[in-house]
């Protein structure tokens, strides 16, 4: 019998690492933070997760605008819980980005300097309380369609964060639907308010899913790596198919004369989307882009002393433990 060797195995070369990564993806297993991963996978994930985290944090603003004007204590408590949930989602997502080596403060700076994006949907104003209901119903509904498949994303921390996020988004969608149903059973003026909000949010909600697949530079690679599980068009279609029957139950009209069930496919055909609007909003020229970023900047700068105090305190505690 030969003596066991004390030599450590040679570090696997880049090709072996790549093969192991490819096999993990092919077997539909998870990549975890300590695993080797191609640089493009890491930076692509940081890009998407940061964009997602920023969307949650900026997404607190349009609904947060109604916290002081909610029509009852019950509505205020529900809205407060929802807005706090969005903050929580942002925190899980920034934590997931940190497992890839990103720095949270740096990501916030990139958002404020407009070097990273957040969802176009949050650049529209919330003009009436019906907008709160429509955001819950349509925007959270779109988020569910988009994010449920992300629970199976190939990157472990992102997929696990999505499980909790999706559970909370389901509550958000139902509270939106319930609010709208209550308003639809109310006065003529309330029904008109709901219809007006639906008219304004419908098309932007469809744009949340991103450009059509043919114009989506990231989709193919992202799907090959199992980060995204479906293309933008398929998820948008799922959202339309889910939402049209719900609109009928609510008694609202979706603002698209071309919306019609295709008997051959059982799916709804819809009219053309104005992609120039999405491009303009992503480029920073939506109705509320400047306001959203200005508020986020004010929050970062105004609260810098808290971060500074916490950092000094943490350093002092570490020093005390070490001595």
Residues making contact with ligand BYC (CB under 6 A): 47-48, 51-52, 55-56, 59, 86, 117, 119-120, 139-140, 143, 146-147, 207-211, 216-219, 222, 228, 232, 282
CB of 74 to ligand BYC, least distance (A): 20
Q: Cα separation of 96 and 91, whole Å? A: 9
* Nearer Cβ to ligand BYC (61/128): 61
Q: How far is the CB of 3 from ligand BYC (least distance, A)?
A: 54
Shortest distance (Å) from residue 318 CB to ligand BYC: 35
How far does CA 299 lie from the centroid of its chain?
A: 21
Residue 86 or 131 having the CB closest to ligand BYC = 86
**Residue 265, CA distances (Å) to 87, 242, 250 in order:** 39, 14, 25
57 vs 250 by CB, closer to ligand BYC: 57
* Of residues 170, 175, 186, the one with CA closest to residue 242: 170
* 165 closest CA partner among 92, 221, 228: 92
User: Alpha carbon of 217 to those of 158, 210, 211, 221, 233: distances in Å?
Assistant: 21, 11, 9, 8, 14
Closest residue by Cα to residue 68 from 55, 87, 83: 83
The least CB distance from residue 232 to ligand BYC, in Å, is 5
CA distance 156 to 32: 5
Nearer to ligand BYC, 191 or 270 (CB): 270
The helix (H) or strand (E) run that includes residue 64 is helix 60-64
Instruction: Give me the least distance between CB of 45 and ligand BYC, in Å please.
Output: 10
Strand partners, 261: 268
Q: Which is nearer to ligand BYC, 124 or 268 (CB)?
A: 124
- d(Cα 207, Cα 277) in Å, to the nearest integer? 9
Closest CB 265 distance from ligand BYC, rounded Å: 23
Q: Which is nearer to ligand BYC, 275 or 313 (CB)?
A: 275
């Amino acid at each position: 019998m030969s003596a066991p060797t004390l030599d450590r195995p040679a570090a696997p070369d880049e090709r072996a690492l790549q093969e192991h990564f490819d096999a993990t993806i092919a077997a539909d297993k998870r990549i975890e933070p300590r695993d080797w991963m191609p640089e493009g996978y890491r930076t692509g994930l940081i890009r998407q997760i940061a964009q997602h985290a920023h969307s949650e944090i900026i997404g607190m603003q349009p609904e947060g605008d109604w916290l002081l004007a909610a029509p009852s204590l019950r509505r205020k408590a529900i809205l407060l819980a929802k807005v706090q949930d969005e903050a929580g989602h942002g925190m899980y997502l920034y934590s997931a980005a940190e497992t890839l080596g990103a720095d949270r403060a740096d990501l916030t700076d990139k958002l404020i300097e407009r070097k990273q994006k957040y969802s176009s949907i949050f650049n529209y104003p919330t003009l009436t309380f019906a907008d709160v209901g429509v955001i819950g119903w349509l925007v959270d509904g779109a988020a569910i369609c988009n994010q449920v498949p992300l629970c199976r994303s190939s990157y472990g921390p992102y997929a696990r964060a999505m499980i909790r996020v999706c559970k909370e988004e389901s509550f958000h969608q139902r509270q939106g639907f319930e609010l709208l149903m209550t308003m639809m059973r109310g006065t003529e003026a309330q029904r008109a308010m709901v219809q007006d909000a639906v008219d304004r949010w419908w098309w932007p909600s469809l744009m949340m899913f991103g450009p059509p697949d043919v114009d989506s530079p990231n989709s193919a690679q992202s799907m090959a790596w199992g980060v995204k599980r479906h293309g933008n068009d398929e998820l948008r279609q799922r959202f339309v198919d889910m939402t049209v029957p719900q609109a009928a139950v609510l008694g609202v009209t979706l603002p698209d004369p071309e919306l019609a069930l295709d008997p051959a496919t059982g799916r709804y055909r819809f009219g053309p989307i104005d992609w120039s609007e999405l491009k303009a909003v992503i480029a920073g020229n939506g109705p509320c882009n400047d306001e959203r970023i200005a508020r986020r900047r004010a929050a970062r700068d105004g609260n810098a002393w808290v971060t500074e105090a916490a950092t000094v305190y943490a350093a002092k505690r570490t020093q005390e433990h070490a001595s």
